[in-house]
Amino acid sequence: MNEVEYTIVRSAKRKTLAISVERNRDVVVHVPEHMSDEDIRRVVTAKRHWIRNKVASSQKYQDRVHPPGKEVVNGESAPFLGRDYRVEIAETESGSVEFGRIFSVPPVADVNRREVLREWYIGQANDKILPRAHRHARELGVEFTEARIVDNRYRWGSCTVGRSVHFNWRLIKAPMFVIDYVVVHELAHLIEPNHKTEFWNIVRAKAATMEKAKTWLKEHGQTLEEDI
């Protein structure tokens, strides 16, 4: 039987081994700093059937060509908070992207238009997602050391062993109920680190639309991963 290929991530703060299968189907093994390669291999081998089932799981994106992303040109559309809005290339008072009922994007070179729109998204993610992280944390009665917006194509969010929570800026293109689900999901790891029944009960109690959000991400996640 073929060996499972995996990447090892060591941490001085981690006390137990955890295996994750990323959305791009890479297998990552998170381990304590001094755990031996042989011990890691033994656990991975014991879990190989579970790993292969997760890699092949239907919850991963349907097989289809990964879209190349949109061009930022007149008449195209760009997503924001779950809806698509028309793009208009026009001078703006701020010299940057402005948003009303449409996206107004300065008439710079196309590659730069994509960059200025991406930067606008990141700014909006900081303005809209991080305050919700603070609000949900208060309501859950948990504290984190830091909340940050990050650029991580294959994870919507993460909770570190140092109790920091990170959120992918691309989430700002999703509906707010999806954003809230991801935020609550990561904050719930501050109470229960593993995906046990107790963990899902916490998430479901705080994010009543959890199943709807998971379905939305399954159906739209692949295109959400694009920068535009």
> Does residue 63 lie within any of the structural domains?
no
Task: Write out the two tokens for 53.
Answer: 């089932």
Residue 21 confidence (pLDDT): 79
Q: Is residue 26 part of a domain?
A: yes
In the chain, what's the furthest Cα-to-Cα distance? 63
- Angle between helix 110-140 and helix 197-206 axes, rounded to 10 deg: 100
Q: Say if 129 falls within a structural domain.
A: yes
Task: Using pLDDT thresholds of 50, 70 and 90, give the confidence band for residue 111.
Answer: low
Same domain, 81 and 190: yes
**Structural domain total, the chain:** 2
Confidence (pLDDT) at 15: 80
Same domain, 34 and 90: no
pLDDT band at 166 (very low <50, low <70, confident <90, very high): very high
- Residue 62 domain-assigned (yes or no): no
Domain co-membership, 112 together with 205:
yes
Mean model confidence pLDDT for the chain: 86
Overall pTM > 0.85: no
Distance CA 159, CA 11 (A): 14
For 49-55, the CB contacts below 8 A with 24+ separation are: 51/4, 51/6, 51/19, 51/21, 51/27, 52/4, 54/21, 55/21, 55/25, 55/27
Looking at the structure, tell me whether residues 118 and 44 fall in a common domain: no
Are residue 32 and residue 87 in the same domain, yes or no?
no
Specify whether 36 is located in the same domain as 106.
no
So what's the pLDDT on residue 64? 41
- Same-domain pairing of 15 and 109: no
* CATH number where 185 lies: 3.30.2010.10
Do β-strands 164-168 and 146-150 pair in parallel, antiparallel, or remain unpaired? parallel
Same domain, 207 and 139: yes
**Which whole number is the average pLDDT over 162-173?**
93
Residue 124 lies in domain: 77-224
- 23 lies in the same domain as 126: no
88 shares its domain with 200: yes
Residue 97 shares a structural domain with residue 146: yes
98-99, strands of its sheet edge to edge:
77-80, 83-89, 103-105, 98-99
Instruction: Give a yes or no: residue 71 inside a domain.
Output: no
Between 54 and 188, the higher pLDDT residue? 188
Q: Are residues 126 and 156 in the same domain?
A: yes
Question: Are the C-beta atoms of 15 and 43 separated by less than 8 Å?
Answer: no
